[in-house]
Amino acid sequence: MAVSPVRPGFKSGYAAIIGKPNVGKSTLLNQLVETKLAAMSSKPQTTRNRITGVVHLPGGQIILLDTPGIHPARSALNQMMVKTSVSTFRDVDVIVFMVDAQQGFRETDSFVFDSMEKVTAPILLALNKIDRASKHDLLSVIAEMDAKKRFAEIIPISALHADGLDILSKVILNYLPEGPPYFPEGMITDSPEEFLIAEIIREKLMNLTRMEIPYASAVKVESVIRRPHASLRIDAVVYVEKLSQKKIVIGENASMLKKIGKNAREEIEKRFGDKVYLNLFVKVKSHWSENLPDLKELGYTHDIH
Ligand SMILES: Nc1nc2c(ncn2[C@@H]2O[C@H](COP(=O)(O)OP(=O)(O)OP(=O)(O)O)[C@@H](O)[C@H]2O)c(=O)[nH]1
Ligand SMILES: [Mg+2]
């Protein structure tokens, strides 16, 4: 596919979605690109990598970067995640900082806000989850945030209900420079298929398991083989840190693994339009979340585009 030539007045550039864990960043990315690219869950620290989603608009192209939630991180994995987010500050044209409108600006948001101290790009504040906030909550958080004099714009949205998103994308576009479309029409991400599939599996696992299991698990897609009659054979491994966790992920008579596999397979079929045979294995890799070579092998590096 050839990249289109420069069009006068056409805008393009990078916008990073930044915020504390669980504020709705991945939900926003997925809604704006109208495709489920990033895993979403009600548990914090779902996103572990930066994920690119391209929004194609008549007047321009927004290259959105979904990032892991910024928080005081302890484990090597979490520190790597936060590094991934903070490293996006340097080279984006605009930042979309998300705060939960119902919860208001909390210490956890303040931690993210302080990490943006040296940011020179304009910061747009997206007040998310307005479907849950009362008018009073919303007005008071707007007043509080306005007083900080740090935000180029304040936009109330509900990422989940796609409310206010047309306005948000117009505002983002306003802050982008003129430039050529960097991605060809129709291309919405540069993430490899293996990564997108692993994230679908990990999302199902995160949503079906509890306690430490979602955080002790990583998914690696070993192979994707295209077979005749538009079918895909996928081999993937779920890594956990302990034998006891392996037993939970497999479940009684493999019931948990079957559920994860079924949910993942259905979504992979929907997304890739093929019949899918998904072979899931569970393996123990002790302390992978603390071990740099393991993190690298599992695709957790703080990569810079
Ligand atoms: N009510 C409501 N819930 C929302 C909204 N946006 C997101 N959520 C929910 O908030 C939870 C977290 O959403 P995510 O998109 O995974 O949050 P995130 O900021 O990407 O989280 P991390 O990847 O952990 O940093 C999910 O249960 C979403 O359904 C919204 O506008 N309204
Ligand atoms: Mg996320």
Domain coordinates in residue numbering, the chain:
11-174, 193-297
| CA–CA distance, 121 with 93 (Å, rounded to integer) | 6
Which ligand has an atom closest to residue 51 CA?
A: 2
Ligand 2 centroid distance, CA of 90 (Å): 20
For domain 193-297, the CATH class is alpha beta
Q: Where are the beta strands (DSSP E) in 5-69?
A: 11-19, 51-57, 60-66
Q: Which residues line ligand 1 (CB under 6 A)?
A: 19, 21-27, 40-42, 44-47, 68-69, 128-129, 131-132, 158-161
Ligand 2 centroid distance, CA of 26 (Å): 4
CATH number for the domain running over 11-174: 3.40.50.300
Ligand 2 centroid distance, CA of 144 (Å): 25
| CA–CA distance, 245 with 236 (Å, rounded to integer) | 17
Say which residues have a Cβ less than 8 Å from residue 130's Cβ, sequence separation at least 6: 101, 138, 156, 157, 158, 163, 164
- Which strand (E) or helix (H) includes residue 240? strand 231-240
Ligand 1 centroid distance, CA of 158 (Å): 10
Which residues have their alpha-adjacent CB atom under 5 A from ion ligand 2? 25-26, 46-47
Please choose from 18, 33, 40 the residue to mutate so as to test ligand 1's pocket, defined by most ligand atoms within 8 A of CB: 40
Ligand 1 centroid distance, CA of 3 (Å): 33
Q: What is the layout of strands, in order, in the sheet containing 60-66?
A: 51-57, 60-66, 11-19, 94-100, 123-128, 153-156
Say which residues have a Cβ less than 8 Å from residue 101's Cβ, sequence separation at least 6: 127, 128, 129, 130, 132, 133, 137, 138, 141, 156
Per-residue pLDDT of the chain (305 residues; tens, 9 = 90+): 555 666 789 999 999 999 999 999 999 999 999 999 999 999 999 999 999 999 999 999 999 999 999 999 999 999 999 999 999 999 899 999 999 999 999 999 999 999 999 999 999 999 999 999 999 999 999 999 999 999 999 999 999 999 999 999 999 999 999 999 999 999 999 999 999 999 999 999 999 999 999 999 999 999 999 988 879 999 999 999 999 999 999 999 999 999 999 999 999 999 998 899 999 999 999 999 999 999 999 999 875 44
Task: Fill in the amino acid letter for 53.
Answer: G
Q: What phi and psi values does residue 70 have, to the nearest 5 degrees? A: -85, 130
Ligand 1 atom at shortest distance from the alpha carbon of 45:
24
| CA–CA distance, 260 with 208 (Å, rounded to integer) | 7
